[in-house]
């Protein structure tokens, strides 16, 4: 999908107008950002916005996230078990220490599988 984020009042207003006029191309709206469908029309609308508002419009292409492809099992397990921890005040670093769960630094250094869009 195409994520369009606006950074000025004028750009935000145009985005609202575009969304109202092209609801069919809008996947989801968030205040000053919108997810457009990944179609030629979605791209056209996003590019029009950037043409009009330049640097006040950011366009990114998003991709579906499949945790069973993109991350290793230990990351999924760590997330699941950390959320089920007994003491809510335990920070993750402490929770992971001395276990098989990956440490925060290790997680930070890992990139996701699957292709990423430039």
- Are residues 42 and 26 in contact, defined by beta-carbon separation less than 8 angstroms? no
> By the criterion CB under 8 A, which residues form the site for other proteins?
7-9, 12, 32, 54-56, 58, 118
Alpha-carbon torsion angle 30, 36, 37, 42, nearest 10: 170
Nearer to other proteins, 22 or 32 (CB): 32
Indicate the DSSP class of residue 80: H
Nearest-approach distance from CB 7 to other proteins, in angstroms: 4
Nearer to other proteins, 55 or 84 (CB): 55
Nearer to other proteins, 26 or 56 (CB): 56
Query: How many whole angstroms separate alpha carbon 97 and alpha carbon 25?
Result: 46
Nearer to other proteins, 60 or 69 (CB): 60
Nearest-approach distance from CB 61 to other proteins, in angstroms: 11
Nearest-approach distance from CB 46 to other proteins, in angstroms: 13
Nearest-approach distance from CB 55 to other proteins, in angstroms: 3
Query: How many whole angstroms separate alpha carbon 103 and alpha carbon 13?
Result: 43
Of 8, 115, 9, the C-alpha closest to 63 is 115
């Amino acid at each position: 999908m195409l994520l369009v984020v606006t950074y000025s009042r004028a750009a935000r207003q145009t985005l609202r107008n575009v969304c109202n006029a092209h609801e069919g191309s809008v996947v989801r709206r968030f205040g000053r950002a919108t997810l457009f469908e990944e179609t030629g029309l979605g791209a056209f609308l996003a590019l029009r916005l950037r043409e009009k508002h330049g640097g006040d419009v950011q366009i990114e292409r998003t991709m579906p996230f499949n945790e069973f492809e993109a991350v290793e099992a230990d990351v999924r397990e760590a997330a699941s078990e950390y959320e089920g921890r007994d003491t809510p005040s335990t920070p993750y670093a402490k929770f992971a220490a001395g276990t098989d769960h990956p440490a925060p630094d290790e997680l930070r250094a890992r990139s996701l599988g699957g292709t990423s869009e430039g």
